[in-house]
Structure 1
């Protein structure tokens, strides 16, 4: 039996509806696209898409809860931020916000 998108950890019927708006209709489609590219498509297409969507995408791919991903990513971003000396802080902020 083929796994449905809603069978992935953290996804449900609403996730299937949202992903269909960016032409992701099955698990094969979902795993074929880069998670950050998928997130960008969602941001451009689906009003209200936020960072939790990115965390949910990564969580579904790694079979873990999106909140676990969020916690780990915040730590990673903070660590990178502290060691990133260039460009200056204002430019770093602009670059990070463009990603999300």
Structure 2
């Protein structure tokens, strides 16, 4: 399965991931949603938080809307922790 086959990720998201060097599902799974989102931000992709919700949805099998509603706080805290450690 390729990044292009994943649910929740449209062409713009796929392009931002490619620019950040994330070109396979295995890389995405290995990095996790928070680290992948931070990598896209550092690479100049200028993503909205919807990308974070979508990435988490890909990894958990949940629609991004459910992730945004039910997991927003925990993901934002994890992102803050990740960025402080970087």
TM above 0.5: yes
Root-mean-square deviation over aligned CA pairs? 2.2
* CA shift digits 1:34-82 (9 cap, x unpaired): 22111111122234312111111100111221111000024xx3xx8xx
> Which residues of structure 1 form unaligned runs of 5+?
81-95
Q: State TM-score, norm by structure 2.
A: 0.73
Does the CA contact (< 8 Å) of 1:6 and 1:16 recur in 2? yes
Answer 1 or 2: higher relative contact order, Cα 8 Å, separation at least 6: 2
Distance 1:46 1:68 in 2: 27
1:4-52 deviations in Å (ceiling 9; x for gaps) = 1121121133322110111111111111112211111112223431211
1:89 aligns with none
Stretches of structure 2 that go unaligned for 5 or more consecutive residues are: none
TM normalised by structure 1 equals: 0.65
